[in-house]
A and B are shown apart, each in its own frame.
Chain A
Amino acid sequence: MTDTLYSKNQLTNPGAETGDLTGWTTEGIVGNVGVTSGGPSTGTYCFFIKNSSTKMYQNKSYFTTPSDFVVEVDFLPSTDQDSGNFEIEGIVKLTLNYGDYTKDELVVPLRDDSGGA
Chain B
Amino acid sequence: MAITWTTGELQNLTVQWLHAKATLNVNQQKEFLSARFTAELVRSTGLNTYFDNFSLTKNLANDKTLGNYIIYMPISAGTSEWPVFGALTDCHIAKAHLVPQADIIGTDSNPIQLILRNVDTDTIICTKTFVLGNNATAYQVTSFGGVDDVAKELYAGNGVRLEKSGTDDLPDITLIIEWNLS
Q: A-side interface residues toward B, CB under 8 Å? A: 5-11, 14-16, 36-43, 45-79, 87-100, 102, 104-106, 108, 110-114, 116-117
Contact = CB atoms under 8 A, between A and B. Distances in A.
Contacts of A73: 19-20, 39, 51-55
A86 to B, nearest CB: 11
Interface of B: 1, 3-13, 15-28, 30-65, 94-95, 97, 141, 143, 145-146, 178
8 contacts: A15-B54, A51-B44, A52-B43, A56-B38, A70-B22, A76-B49, A78-B45, A98-B31
Contacts of A11: 37, 54-56
Contacts of B143: 63
A113 B21 CA distance: 12
Contact of A95 (B35, B50, B58, B97): B35
Given A8-B57, A76-B8, 9 more contacts: A54-B40, A61-B34, A69-B59, A72-B55, A79-B47, A97-B33, A106-B22, A110-B49, A117-B5
Contacts, number: 332
A18 B56 CA distance: 18
Nearest to B43: A89
Contacts of A38: 8-13, 15, 50, 52
B51 to A, nearest CB: 4
Contacts of A66: 26, 32, 58-60, 62-63
Contact of A75 (B31, B42, B43, B50): B50
Contacts of B12: 37-38
B21 A49 contact: no
